[in-house]
Amino acid sequence: MTLDQMKYFLVAAKYQSVTMAGQAIHISPSAISTAISKIEEEFQCQVFRRDGKYIFLNDEGRILQKEFETIFDQIQLVKTKVNKAASFQGEFRLGGSHFLSHRYLSLAWNEAQKEHPGLRGELLSMHTALILSEVIKGTVDFALCFSPQQHPDFIQKELFKGNLRIAVRKGHPLLKLSLSQQLKALSQYPAILHKPTPGVEVCEKHPVFSHFGIQPKVRFYFDSDDQAIECILRSDSWTLIPDICYRHYAKVIQLLHSPKGWNAPYHICSVTPHHRAHNPVLQQLEQRIKELLHRSC
């Protein structure tokens, strides 16, 4: 069994397809299949469950995935210790909540690839619950999410903390009212709120609404803050968004004044499997994202 065979196995495990794995690293599917066969021969067990054109890790395969990824992480660590100027290499699948993937993860990954041309991978954008499930399954190496709940199968680190705020388009009728009247009048206008999903702390029934007597008349739900903002720009609707989103739309939207006692915190966190906590590529990516988040404040 060679390092290349181990690498081919890991790529197949992430893409859950021999064909897609071959396309990702520009080798023939037969080379991927041969590598998997050699590993199964070496360990005298099957490592994938096959279902049509897709393959899924079984219990033995998941054990090998963690061990092989740890081996490659250790090799990269040794390289950086021997030569601090060594360039990172490897294949990574990254994912994030829609807004964070578009605005921060993609930018940080692009910067990393410029510095380390040997890095390759795939960048996914989906709602938080889905991306967390991909991390747990082992098909994603690193995720960037809004307010994920703790889970025993991954490590999360807080990179940024902010407050959820009520946003409307500039010129909205609410802005003509006094600050004390705005929240009272809010229930008269349609609301566009985040879709409730498992694994995420904040949903459409936020405690801050009941605390201030707000009764949202939900027009529809969204799973991307960019979607919400595009919708309020074309209507008299309002939405509840992370304040970091405002910094990208300050020219066209307005945040309502937050009264005393307003408490709607959110967290932006990195999420990685436990065994990848010391991967130098992911550590550097995490630091780049943290700097980007705080630079935008």
- pLDDT tens by residue, 230-244: 999 999 999 999 999
Domain boundary among the residues 36, 51, 86 is at 86
Residue 225 contacts by C-beta under 8 Å, 6 or more apart in sequence? Answer: 98, 99, 194, 241, 242, 245
Residue 89 pairs with which residues in a beta bridge? Answer: 118
Domain shared by 97 and 18, yes or no: no
pLDDT given for residue 204 in this prediction: 58
DSSP state of 45: S
Which pair of tokens denotes residue 30?
Answer: 């037969």
Answer yes or no: do 211 and 266 share one domain. Answer: yes
CA distance 1 to 16: 21
CA distance 143 to 101: 9
What pLDDT sits at residue 297? Answer: 67
b/e map of 36-59 (b: 16 or more CB within 10 Å)? bebbbeeeeeebbeeeeeebebee
pLDDT digits (tens, 9 = 90+) for 60-86: 999 999 999 999 999 988 988 888 777
Query: Can you tell me the distance from the alpha carbon of 224 to that of 204, in angstroms, rounded to the nearest whole number?
Result: 14
Residues 9 and 131 in one domain: no
In which domain, by residue range, is 28 found? 1-86
Q: Is the domain of 71 the same as that of 206? A: no
Final residue in a domain of this structure, among 35, 66, 86: 86
Q: For the segment 230-284, what is each residue's pLDDT rounded down to a tens digit?
A: 999 999 999 999 999 999 999 999 999 999 999 999 999 999 999 998 899 999 9
Q: How many domains does the chain have?
A: 2
Q: How many CB atoms lie within 10 A of CB 155?
A: 16
CA gap 131, 270 in Å, rounded? 11
Position 39 scores a pLDDT of 96
Same domain for 111 and 15: no
> Both 73 and 110 in a single domain?
no
Q: How confident is the model at residue 180 (pLDDT cuts 50, 70, 90)?
A: confident
**CA quadruple 124, 126, 130, 131: dihedral, nearest 10:** 40
Per the structure block, which two tokens stand in for 109?
């990954």
Same domain, 202 and 252: yes
**CATH number of the domain residue 37 falls in:** 1.10.10.10
- The sign of the CA dihedral 248, 252, 253, 257 is positive
Pair 80, 125 in one domain: no
What local confidence, expressed as pLDDT, does residue 195 receive?
80
* Mean of all residue pLDDT scores within the chain: 92
Residues 64 and 107 in one domain: no
* Same domain as 173, residue 27: no
**Is the predicted pLDDT of residue 133 greater than 70, yes or no?**
yes
Give Cα 179 distance to the centre of its chain.
36
> Taking the alpha carbons of 25, 110, 78, 63 in that order, is the dihedral positive or negative?
negative
Instruction: Please state, in angstroms and rounded to a whole number, the distance separating the CA atoms of residues 8 and 222.
Output: 38
**pLDDT above 90: residue 94:** yes
Cα 160 to Cα 149: distance, rounded to the nearest angstrom: 15
Nearest alpha carbon to residue 239 among 275, 214, 261: 214
d(CA 132, CA 137): 9
Cα(33)–Cα(19) distance, rounded to whole angstroms?
9
Same domain, 63 and 152: no
Residue 257: other Cβ atoms inside 10 A: 13
pLDDT at 291: 96
Return the SS3 of 89.
Answer: strand
Decide if pLDDT at 198 tops 70.
no
Lookup result for tokens 């005298």: 44
Q: What is the pTM of this model?
A: 0.88
Domain of 157, CATH number, reads 3.40.190.290
Domain boundary residue, one of 86, 101, 136: 86
User: Are residues 80 and 98 both part of a single domain?
Assistant: no
